[in-house]
Amino acid sequence: MSERTVIKKKLNSEEWFLRQVESYTRRQPSGDKTPACVDDAFLKSYAEHPTNVSLSDRRVDHVTSCNYCLGRLLQFRATRPARASLSFRYAAVAAMGLVCLLVGFVVANAWNRKHPAVVQVQSAELHRTLDLSQYGTYRGDQPASNPPLHLPAALVNLELVLPRLSPPGAYSIMVAAAGNGHNRVACATATAVGSDPRTVVAVSLDLRSAAPGNYVLSTQLQGEDAPYTYPLQIE
C-alpha cells in the first residue's frame, strides 16, 4: 500500500496539509514557476477551505510536488488567521445575542409562573351576557326600581340582548361613570341582529381600567338623537 493511500484513509485534509508543510520545510525551494503551475485563485481557495477539495484532484497532486505552488499556498494560508479572527468576533456577537434572547425567554417564563392571575387578566377575554329585554326604554336616568347590571373589570366579550321593540341596526355601546355620564370608560360600535323579542348586539369592551363602583351602560341606535341608559356595577 502506497503512502498516499494511507494518507487518504487515515488522515483528514488538515493533517495531510500539515505533513506537506513539514515536507516542504525540509526541501530547498527553487521558487521557479512553470507552465504546469496552478493559478493563485485555486491556491487561495484551497488555503482557506482545504476540506472542499478532494485529495485526488490533480491540482492538489501538483501543489504537493511543486516548490513554487506550495510556497504560494503557505503565503495564502498565513493570511487566514486574521480573517478567521474577524469571523470569530462576528460569531461571538451572534452568540451573545442568542444568549440574551434565551435569558429573556427564561425570565419571562419565570415571571409568568409567579403571576398567573395577572397574565390571565391581561390576555383572556371574558364572555358575558346582559339581558335588557325586561327593561323599559327610558332616555336619561333609569327608574330606581330597575336592578343594576353587573360586569367585571376585565376585557369583556359582551352579548347584549336589547329591550323589546328594539330594531336591528348599528348601535353604539358605551360605559361611563355614573352621574353626568361624560367620563367614558369604554365604547364600541356593532350591528344588532335578530328581531323582536330578541335583538342582540355583540361588542368587546375593555373595562380593565375601571375601578369597582357604579356606572352607566348606554345604547344608541345610529340616527337617533339620544341614548338609552341602564345602571351598571363594575366589580
Same domain, 38 and 102: no
Together in a domain, 73 and 88: no
**Total count of domains within the chain:** 3
Tell whether 175 and 92 lie within a shared domain: no
Same domain, 214 and 194: yes
Same domain, 101 and 136: no
Report how far residue 203's alpha carbon sits from residue 215's, in angstroms, rounded to the nearest whole number: 18
C-alpha cell at 173: 355601546
Given 89, 114, 139, the domain boundary residue is 114
Residues 9 and 29 in one domain: yes
Residues 174, 218 contacting (CB under 8 angstroms)? yes
Query: What sections of the chain are H helices per DSSP?
Result: 3-10, 13-25, 40-48, 58-65, 67-78, 80-114, 116-123
92 to each of 85, 89, 217, how far by Cα in Å? 10, 5, 58
* Shared-domain flag, residues 141 and 70: no
- Which residues does 124 contact at the CB level (< 8 Å), separation at least 6? 154, 155
At which of 25, 60, 78 does a domain end? 78
Residues 149 and 99 in one domain: no
Q: Is the pTM of this model over 0.85?
A: no
Last residue of a domain, one of 55, 78, 101: 78
| Cβ atoms of residues 176 and 185 within 8 Å | yes
Give the CATH number, domain containing residue 222. 2.60.40
Q: What DSSP string describes 136-151?
A: ---BBSPPTTSPPEEE
Q: What is the pLDDT along the chain (235 residues), one digit of tens a residue?
A: 444 444 444 556 666 766 666 565 555 555 678 888 889 888 888 888 878 878 778 888 787 778 788 778 878 877 765 554 555 555 555 656 556 666 666 666 666 666 655 444 445 789 999 998 877 655 555 545 677 899 999 999 999 999 888 889 999 999 998 765 568 889 899 998 887 778 899 999 999 988 999 998 989 888 888 888 888 999 9
- Rounded-to-integer distance, Cα 160 and Cα 130, Å: 5
Domain that holds residue 93: 81-114
